[in-house]
Amino acid sequence: METKIGIGYDSHKFVEGRKLFLGGVEIPYECGLFAHSDGDVLIHALIDAILGALNLGDIGMFFPDTDPQYKDIRSTILLQKIADLLAKKNAEIINIDSVLMLEAPKISPYTEEMKDMLSQILKIQKAQISIKAKTNEGMGFVGKKEGIASIVVVLIRIK
């Protein structure tokens, strides 16, 4: 058995006229995130972390933003493809630790639902998933409420 760690990062700016998805959950807010897909920064960073742990590159290599089949696709569908890849590689997730960096909206009312969504897709226990939120104290694009960023660390075991 081999244990590996991966880290992922993603950020997107806010834009009007789109829904906001974080961790696969629609969050009521005045703006969504600008992206080729639904812009779910938490899932995008999670996918990058998993791919990094498997030494397989990044999300853009698997789901390029130049490919029309991924236009406005839900990130949960992309994560399901990565979950299938994990199984094919005989790998399992031990732990996920994530941080969402945003001034608004407040996500604490939605973190359990996000954990439910991610645990169902990845076939792991909710106790294996940590989702935290931090503000940027008014600094940078996050602090100015121009967008959201996420960092995710994943520990996997390959059998």
pLDDT in tens, 56-112: 999 999 999 999 999 999 999 999 999 999 999 999 999 999 999 999 999 999 999
28, burial (CB in 10 Å: exposed 0-12, middle 13-18, buried 19+): exposed
Range of the domain at 58: 2-158
Total domains in the fold of the chain: 1
Task: Give the SS3 label for residue 140.
Answer: helix
Dihedral pair phi/psi, residue 118, rounded to 5°? -65, -40
pTM above 0.95, yes or no: yes
Dihedral pair phi/psi, residue 46, rounded to 5°? -65, -45
Amino acid at 45: A
Whole-number mean pLDDT of the chain?
97
> What does the pLDDT look like over 116-136, one tens digit per residue?
999 999 999 999 999 999 999
pLDDT confidence tier of residue 139, bands split at 50, 70 and 90: very high
Which of these, 55, 53, 80, lies nearest to 63 by C-alpha position?
80
> What does the pLDDT look like over 35-71, one tens digit per residue?
999 999 999 999 999 999 999 999 999 999 999 999 9
How many Cβ atoms are within 10 Å of 2's Cβ, its own excluded?
Answer: 8
Residue 134's CATH number: 3.30.1330.50
How many Cβ atoms are within 10 Å of 93's Cβ, its own excluded?
Answer: 23
